[in-house]
Amino acid sequence: MCRWLAYSGPAIPLSTLLTRPDHSLIDQSRHATQNVETTNGDGIGVGWYGQDKTPGVYRDTHPAWNDANFRHLSDHIRSGLFLSHVRAATGTPVQNTNCHEWR
């Protein structure tokens, strides 16, 4: 089962919800307690709106907890509207096209 996080409110660094809290989305991807599998390690995707009219998008097949690039970006990207996803593959390939592209 995949895990999702959506945010709409004042602009904040993405890391405020995705990486910093004790039960952040990234923490949940590594320690899922209500899944058949205990990890969601088959990719991450995040889409956000910033100052441009088009959304920013980041996605990769790395486990979210082991993606240093994502952690760095989430500290520096501020948004008032974003959606993120950590993936646990259920029979489909682990590839970028299966890590949602939020456009």
**What's the rounded Cα separation, in Å, for the pair 21 and 1?**
21
Residues with a known catalytic role: 2
DSSP run (H or E) holding 72: helix 68-76
Strand order in the sheet with 78-86: 3-13, 78-86, 44-49, 56-60
What residues pair up with 84 in beta bridges, in sequence order? 5, 46
